[in-house]
Amino acid sequence: MQLRQAFAVPADSPLADRELRNAIEHFDERLDKYLAGHLVGQIIPDHVGYSVPESEVPLHVFKGFYVENLTFVLLGQPHEMRPIIAELVRLHNLLIDCDNAGLRLPR
C-alpha cells in the first residue's frame, strides 16, 4: 500500500486489471476449452508482427503481439497494451527520480 501511495497508483490503474494476468496464468486450461470448439482453418501457435496476418480461411492465433496497434491476442481475445506500457513507463521514470534522490520514495 505504501508503494501505491508513493507512486500514486490509482485503484483503476491498468496494472490492477487481473484479466490478462489470469488469462496468461491459466492459458493451458483455456486452450483446452478453445480447442474443444472444433476449430476449422489456419492455426498459428504464436505470432509477432506488425499486424494480424491475413488468411482466406478462419485464423486462430493462440498467442500474438501486433506492433501496429500494440495489441496482445490470447486465444482470440485482444488485450490493449498501450495503457499498460504507459503506466510502466511512468513508474520507470519515477523510479529513476527515486534513484537520483538517494533512493527515496516520492512524497
pLDDT averaged over consecutive 10-residue blocks of the chain (107 residues)? Answer: 86 90 93 88 94 92 95 93 96 92 81
Structural domain contains residue 12 = yes
Q: Would residue 105 count as lying in a domain?
A: no
The whole domain housing 77 covers 2-100
Quote the number of domains for the chain.
1
pTM for the full predicted model: 0.79
Position 75 in a domain:
yes
Does residue 64 belong to any structural domain of this protein?
A: yes
CB 85 within 8 A of CB 71: no
State the pLDDT at residue 76: 87
Distance CA 39, CA 61 (A): 11
Sequence-separated (6 or more) residues with CB below 8 Å from residue 40: 57, 58
> Is there a domain that residue 106 lies in?
no
Q: Is residue 70 part of a domain?
A: yes
